[in-house]
Structure 1
Amino acid sequence: MAKGILLVLSNATETGNEEEFNRWYNEVHAPEIVQRGAAVSFRRFKSSGVPLGKGIPEPGQEYACVYEIEAETVEDVEAIAQRLEQTKDQSQGVSPDMDLTSVRASFMVPVTS
């Protein structure tokens, strides 16, 4: 059972094809991350545009992808990052419709008390 997440925030390019960006992300990129053994599943989201509250800005990225990962510790995350590095030749590349300057990502592990 997955215990951590990889959170990736991103945008389509302003001049690109947003529909193609979403097709590529849903059908190529995210499944590839799972196939490469870095995650067990994923879900994608689009910002609603509704702020959480007054004075709490939304991030600048319109899209989020939440990957479930088998990680409880930093060492587990390091192993996943290494797996991604070792399998980078299996990548089908990045869509020209993805704004790489907008990408923000974080491996997150559970908080235990």
Structure 2
Amino acid sequence: MVQAAHTRALLIVFSNPSSDAEEEEFNRWYTEEHIPDVLRLGGLRSGRRYRSSGVPLLPGLPEPGRYAAVYPVEADTVEQIRAVADKLQAGLAAGETSVSPTMDLSRVQAAWVLPVGEEITL
């Protein structure tokens, strides 16, 4: 069954704390500071964090990160995504949001994704 509701772009960010000892502070910063700061920059409607279950999709397939943040994006085109990405980058450069030293930047993976077709449901 194809659902008629319009789905817009998403920003998906996979991340890890710098160390197990910093995990509590990493989670506090990400949830209480970073997501609200990013949302205030504009272009992102909301943000929700997820934690890995530890169950692999397939044997031997590595997970991209222990945590994921998913943001619906106010964009339907690559050009609109670029505009939102520019706002986010400008906000980081201006200090309107920051990246905590408790985040392992060497392992962050992120993607701006556009829907392909309509959502399929059963």
TM-score scaled to structure 2, two decimals? 0.81
Q: Identify the residue that residue 88 of structure 2 maps to in structure 1.
A: 84
Preserved CA contact (<8 Å) 2:7 2:115: no
Q: What is the alpha-carbon distance in structure 2 between the residues aligned to residue 95 and residue 16 of structure 1? A: 14
Structure 2 partner of 1:96: 101
Letter in 2 for 1:105: A
Which structure carries more strand by proportion?
1
Unmatched tracts of structure 2, length 5 or more: 1-5
State yes or no: 1:41 paired with 2:39: no
Q: How many residues align?
A: 112
- Which one-letter code corresponds to 1:68 in the other structure? P
Q: Deviations 1:25-56 (Å, cap 9, x if unpaired)?
A: 0010111111110311011001000112335x
8 Å CA contact 2:13–2:108 kept in 1: the answer is yes
The yes-or-no answer on 1:59 pairing with 2:66 is no
Instruction: Look up the match of 2:3.
Output: none
Equivalent pair of 1:2/1:40 in contact (CA under 8 Å): no
The DSSP-based 3-state class of the residue aligned with 1:65 is strand
Q: Indicate the percent of aligned positions where both proteins have the same amino acid.
A: 43
Q: Which residue of 56, 67, 71 maps to 2:75?
A: 71
Offset of 1:97 from its aligned partner? 1.0
Q: Structure 1, unaligned stretches of length 5 or more?
A: none
* Comparing 7-16 and 41-50, the one that deviates more: 7-16
Give the match for residue 110 of structure 2. Answer: 105
Larger Rg: 2
Matched residue type, 1:82? D
List structure 1 runs of 4+ shifted beyond 6 angstroms.
none
